[in-house]
Amino acid sequence: MSTLAIWGLVALGLSFGLTLVCERVARRVGLVAAPREDRWHGAPVPLLGGVAIVCATLVPLALSGAGTRDLLVLSLAALSMAAVGLADDIYSLKPQIKLAAQIIVAAALLYSGFLLQVSRVPLLDVFITLVWIVGITNAFNLLDNMDGLAAGVAAIAAGFSLLLSFWDFDSKGALASAVFLGACLGFLVRNFPPARIFMGDAGSYFLGLFLAGLSLVAKFPYSRGITAVMALPVLILLVPIFDTAFVTITRLLSGRPLAVGGRDHTSHRLVAVGVSERGVVLFFYGVAASSGVVALLSYQIGLSYSVVLLGL
């Protein structure tokens, strides 16, 4: 446990330091998010925070010697996805290009053995895994719509992933979770509302793909039967999954393009009815933590015994 704490703190310190550096560099090169009608902030904000999260995750992982084949593949895939996000931050890529890149990276993970085994039909499992990886990647991109929301929810998800991996004696998965948790928390110091820096698409894509892949690397989803294969990761990532589903459905019903941003997320709607921005962020932290606790209970005592909590 002490090793996990040490590397987690290393990642936290590195993330915080790099975030401060990225703030200055982004302002100097003009890479800032300007205020727009479909965005939440009212002043230009530096947009390189994702670089700090990526470096603070991958560098400690490399130095710690946790370089198993699966974690190495996941790190390269997440780095590739972050590069696509960074290119989008700089050049504003078309949605079709970003989706194609996500599918290619997800296909590479599939080819490397990352697979959700939820049925007896291999082709169906491949399709579900592809949807899972691409879906969670985009879910965090959509969730990054308010200061501190995506980074905080990712940190909470990483914390529960750390506990589950620790309970299953998965030392490599626990170390990856601890480092990722530290990287998110170090960035969150400067991103919590009012944010002084944004993670950009580079950060949100990295968060989503790393967490989606981490749920496939860790042993815990496969240790308690088929139900746990999907129940545990879905519960841990409930907030981005719900927000993505909600926004997708409402935009389809209103005839709006899915790829066009807007102030129609669940977080924005809560602010519209009078909740403070910090209150909304803390509320979603609570929801993420509550669903994570249900995941822990489901894992410890069985899904059938925690079904009432699941409903709540």
What's the confidence (pLDDT) of residue 219? 54
Name residues whose C-beta falls within 8 Å of residue 236's C-beta, 6 or more positions apart in sequence: 157, 160, 161, 215, 291, 292, 295
Structure confidence at residue 295 (pLDDT): 84
Q: How confident is the model at residue 300 (pLDDT cuts 50, 70, 90)?
A: confident
Q: Has residue 229 got a pLDDT over 60?
A: no
Rg, C-alpha atoms of the chain: 18
pTM: 0.93
Q: For the chain, what is the mean pLDDT?
A: 89
Examine the pLDDT at 220 and tell me if it is beyond 60. no
pLDDT at 223 over 60: no
Q: What is the band of 253 on the pLDDT scale with cuts at 50, 70, 90?
A: confident
Q: Which residue has the higher pLDDT, 206 or 235?
A: 206
CB atoms within 10 A of CB 81: 30
What is the C-alpha to C-alpha distance for residues 298 and 295, in angstroms, rounded to an integer?
5
% of the chain with per-residue pLDDT over 90: 65
Under DSSP, is residue 46 helix (H, G, I), strand (E, B) or coil? Answer: strand
Supply the pLDDT for residue 221. 47
3-state helix, strand, coil in the chain (%, to 5): 75, 0, 25
pLDDT of residue 234 exceeding 90, the answer is no
Q: How far apart are CA 151 and CA 237, in angstroms?
A: 12
Share of the chain above pLDDT 70, in %: 88
Supply the pLDDT for residue 222: 45
CA distances to 111, 163, 165, 193, 212 from 156, in Å: 29, 11, 14, 17, 14
Q: Which comes out higher in pLDDT, residue 261 or 180?
A: 180
pLDDT at 1: 61
**pLDDT (average), residues 289-311:** 77
Predicted pLDDT at 117: 81
Look at residue 279 in the predicted model and tell me its pLDDT.
95
Q: What is the pLDDT of residues 53-101, one digit of tens each?
A: 999 999 999 998 766 889 999 999 999 999 999 999 999 999 999 999 9
DSSP string, 51-118: HHHHHHHHHHHHHHT---HHHHHHHHHHHHHHHHHHHHHHH---HHHHHHHHHHHHHHHHHTT-----
Torsion of CA 237, 243, 247, 250, to 10 degrees: 110
The predicted model gives 39-62 an average pLDDT of 89
Split at pLDDT 50, 70, 90, the class of 294 is: confident
Helix (H) or strand (E) holding 236: helix 226-236
Residue-wise pLDDT tens digits, 166-215: 888 888 899 999 999 999 999 999 999 999 999 999 999 999 999 999 98
Where residue 303 falls among pLDDT bands split at 50, 70, 90?
A: low
Q: Whose CA is closest to 208, among 246, 264, 158, 170?
A: 158
pLDDT of residue 36: 65
- Least Cα distance to 160 among 78, 85, 75, 238 occurs for 238
pLDDT at 170: 87
